[in-house]
């Protein structure tokens, strides 16, 4: 008498065969199961194999996604869990100034905590322990020049001269006398 198949029996048999023989081809699976009395089509073998790969990759993705969350928490010396950011802050506060990211990374590595240099830099900046880069004045840059050829330094010196002489009129008279001598 023929064996009655329940729903999913063929798929279960295919999975069981693949667990014992993961490199088997689809035709090998069909032939081996036929010898055991289970009739399956080659298309079903391909589908089950593909679904098995999807499930494995989904499990890997779940582990990978859980990894960073689990890795963010690390056991501190007193046994409680703290985030990496908390550990970075704690380490930075205990170090002499100036605190450099590479020093924090090295100190935490000694404690068994792996952190990225960029993460440390961000935390230090948020704590106000990292200098903000400022645009440096370009050395040798030409001074600002007015349309009449005077620069800011000339105007500052002229203002000092007016303050010494007393008024702009007296400076003009002095300059006119200087031009006649000249």
Provide mean pLDDT across the span 163-178. 89
Question: Which value, to the nearest 10 degrees, does the dihedral of the CA atoms of residues 139, 142, 144, 150 take?
Answer: 130
pLDDT for 49: 84
pLDDT for 64: 64
What is the C-alpha separation between 29 and 33, in angstroms, rounded?
6
Q: What is the pLDDT of residues 22-55, one digit of tens each?
A: 888 889 989 998 998 888 898 888 888 888 777 6
What is the C-alpha separation between 128 and 130, in angstroms, rounded?
6
pLDDT for 5: 60
Placement of tokens 């380490």 in the chain: 91
pLDDT for 19: 86
Give the pairing type, strands 73-75 and 81-83: antiparallel
Residue with the larger pLDDT of the pair 56 and 42? 42
Where in 63-139 does DSSP place strands (E)?
Answer: 73-75, 81-83
Burial track 71-90 (b if 16+ CB lie within 10 A, e otherwise): eeebeeeeeeebebeebbbe
pLDDT for 59: 65
Q: What is the pLDDT of residues 63-118, one digit of tens each?
A: 666 654 444 444 444 455 678 889 999 998 998 888 889 999 999 999 898 999 89
What is the C-alpha separation between 1 and 111, in angstroms, rounded?
69
pLDDT for 154: 86
How buried is 122 (Cβ within 10 angstroms: 0-12 exposed, 13-18 middle, 19+ buried)? Answer: middle
- Asked if 52 and 18 touch (Cβ cutoff 8 Å), the reply is yes
State what percent of residues in the chain have pLDDT above 90.
Answer: 13
pLDDT for 106: 93
């Amino acid at each position: 008498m023929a064996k009655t198949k329940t729903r999913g029996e063929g798929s279960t048999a295919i999975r069981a065969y693949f667990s014992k023989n993961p490199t088997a081809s689809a035709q090998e699976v069909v032939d081996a199961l036929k010898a055991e009395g289970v009739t399956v089509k080659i298309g079903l073998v391909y589908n089950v194999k593909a679904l098995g790969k999807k499930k494995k990759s989904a499990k890997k993705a779940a582990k990978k996604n859980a990894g960073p969350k689990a890795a963010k928490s690390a056991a501190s010396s007193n046994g409680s869990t703290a985030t990496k950011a908390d550990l970075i802050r704690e380490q930075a506060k205990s170090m002499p100034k100036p605190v450099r990211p590479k020093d924090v990374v090295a100190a935490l590595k000694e404690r068994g905590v792996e952190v990225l240099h960029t993460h440390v830099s961000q935390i230090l900046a948020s704590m106000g322990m990292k200098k903000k880069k400022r645009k440096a004045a370009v050395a040798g840059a030409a001074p600002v020049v007015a349309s009449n050829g005077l620069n800011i330094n000339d105007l500052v010196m002229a203002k000092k001269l007016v303050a010494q002489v007393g008024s702009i009129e007296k400076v003009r008279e002095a300059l006119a006398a200087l031009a006649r001598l000249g």
